[in-house]
């Protein structure tokens, strides 16, 4: 009976610890395997909706581009027509000038251009009534002919100028329409870019939800069983079958479950240094069999950086999208890495091996969790990065003491 009470007390402590240690923003959005399946469906539908909208936008942009091409062709035609009309106007003006010169020469031929009253002098210079009638008839015919030609040319010029004005108005209207279409095209392209920028985050949500489904299926969680309770049960059963803990932690160490979607980066090991111990920005993890220890991501994400730091340590960085925000995890002192920048990784992916590269006192994994990273830009400086560090224990279920073994991820 006493043994039963002790076990019940430890179970109660484990359950309470699981809720005390995890901060609110690290709690899962889903509480059961069924809810994680629903998340997969929801995020998949969201991704499909975005893809459909991008396809629709692409179609609209193609139609707008075709319409703009038609307008540009129409504008080219208008410019050509305006030029043709201007040529006709110039030709008509030249013809008016030439006709004026021709009339003057005709009048001179008939000796009508000898003074201001040339027409009268010519008419009244007749030697007889018959000659006078003839002369007046000549003057009248020349005047009518000259006026007729001038009127026709002036009417043609006026008509061409009106057509020019109409075409210029149409040209302005077409240019305004072209500007509106260009603006609409830019708006749609901006919408498409926003959709495409959001897609990786949605895909990460899908991958994370699928990884959760796979993991909680693998540890035997029921569809409607609370995942926190399932994780506690699994950890307890696994620890008891795996020989329990060893090292300095003792039986009093409690190993809380990880937050939903987060996993230990190694199959087994122990904590050798805690977060913010003497300014330590992360947590150090060790394992005696370090040469064969594979390192996994703590959650689904995208590799965004890998490099040797100034001390020569192999460093790998992964961006995660969880509970509506980004987190960044750093894995340092690796002996090797097996993934590339831009690669999507899940908790099952082997990203590298434990090592002792760089400024290291021995083989271990240095793990950091932050809310920003200077490698991504966006105003995250080294000082901001330091302030953004989070305690990995808030997300990952490690034994509470140092050098206390865990088994299973």
Of 152, 154, 146, the closest CA to residue 99 belongs to 146
d(C-alpha 162, C-alpha 167), whole Å: 9
Please state the rounded mean pLDDT for residues 90-115.
66
**Is the pTM value of this prediction over 0.75?**
no
Please state the rounded mean pLDDT for residues 186-208.
86
Please state the rounded mean pLDDT for residues 85-100.
77
Q: What is the pLDDT of residue 190?
A: 94
Bridge-partner residues for 345, per DSSP?
301
Q: What is the pLDDT of residue 401?
A: 77
Please state the rounded mean pLDDT for residues 113-125.
55
| Cα dihedral across residues 96, 102, 104, 106: positive or negative | negative
- Lowest-pLDDT range of 55-64, 282-291, 309-318, 327-336: 282-291
Tokens of 204: 């990460």
Do 211 and 347 form a contact (C-beta atoms < 8 A)? yes
Residue 337 φ/ψ region, left for φ over 0, alpha for ψ in the -120 to 50 degree band, beta for the rest: beta
Per-residue pLDDT at 10 exceeds 50 = no
- Domains belonging to the chain, first-starting first, are 2-27+256-407 (2.70.70.10), 59-198 (1.10.287)
H/E run at residue 284:
strand 283-286
Q: DSSP state, 336?
A: E
Bridge-partner residues for 328, per DSSP?
319, 370
Confidence band for 201, pLDDT divided at 50, 70 and 90: confident
In sequence order, the 6+-apart residues with CB closer than 8 A to the CB of 367 are 265, 282, 283, 284, 285, 298, 329, 330, 331, 332, 392
Q: What is the pLDDT of residue 44?
A: 92
Give the model confidence (pLDDT) of 266-317 as tens digits. 998 889 888 888 778 899 999 877 667 899 999 988 888 888 888 888 999 9
Q: What is the pLDDT of residue 11?
A: 37
């Amino acid at each position: 009976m006493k043994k039963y009470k002790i076990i019940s007390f430890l179970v109660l402590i484990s359950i309470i610890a699981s809720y005390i240690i995890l901060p609110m923003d690290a709690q899962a959005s889903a509480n059961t395997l069924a809810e994680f399946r629903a998340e997969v469906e929801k995020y998949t539908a969201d991704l499909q909706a975005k893809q459909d909208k991008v396809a629709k936008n692409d179609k609209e942009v193609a139609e707008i581009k075709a319409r703009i091409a038609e307008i540009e062709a129409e504008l080219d035609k208008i410019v050509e027509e305006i030029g043709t009309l201007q040529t006709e106007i110039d030709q008509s003006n030249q013809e008016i000038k030439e006709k004026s010169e021709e009339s003057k020469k005709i009048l001179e031929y008939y000796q009508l251009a000898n003074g201001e009253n040339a027409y009268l002098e010519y008419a009244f210079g007749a030697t007889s009534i018959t000659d006078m009638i003839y002369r007046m008839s000549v003057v009248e015919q020349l005047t009518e002919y000259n006026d007729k030609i001038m009127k026709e040319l002036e009417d043609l010029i006026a008509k061409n100028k009106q057509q020019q004005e109409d075409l210029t108005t149409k040209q302005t209207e077409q240019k305004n329409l072209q500007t509106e279409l260009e603006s609409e095209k830019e708006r749609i392209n901006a919408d498409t870019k926003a959709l495409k920028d959001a897609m990786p985050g949605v895909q990460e949500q899908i991958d994370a939800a699928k990884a959760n489904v796979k993991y909680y299926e693998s540890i035997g969680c029921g569809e409607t069983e609370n995942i926190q309770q399932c994780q506690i049960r699994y950890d307890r059963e696994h620890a008891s079958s795996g020989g329990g803990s060893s090292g300095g932690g003792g039986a009093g160490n409690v190993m809380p479950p990880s937050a939903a979607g987060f996993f230990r980066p190694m199959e087994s090991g122990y904590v050798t240094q805690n977060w913010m111990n003497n300014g330590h920005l992360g947590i150090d993890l060790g394992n005696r069999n370090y040469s064969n220890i594979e390192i996994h991501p703590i959650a689904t994400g995208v590799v965004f950086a890998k490099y040797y730091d100034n001390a020569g340590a192999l460093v790998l960085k992964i961006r995660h999208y969880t509970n509506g925000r980004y987190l960044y995890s750093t894995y340092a002192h690796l002996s090797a890495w097996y993934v590339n920048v831009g690669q999507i990784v899940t908790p099952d992916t082997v990203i590298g091996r434990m090592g002792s590269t760089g400024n290291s006192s021995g083989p271990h994994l240095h793990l950091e969790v932050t809310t920003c990273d200077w490698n991504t830009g966006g105003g995250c400086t080294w000082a901001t990065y330091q302030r953004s560090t989070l305690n990995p224990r808030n997300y990952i279920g490690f034994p509470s003491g140092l050098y206390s073994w865990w088994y299973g991820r």
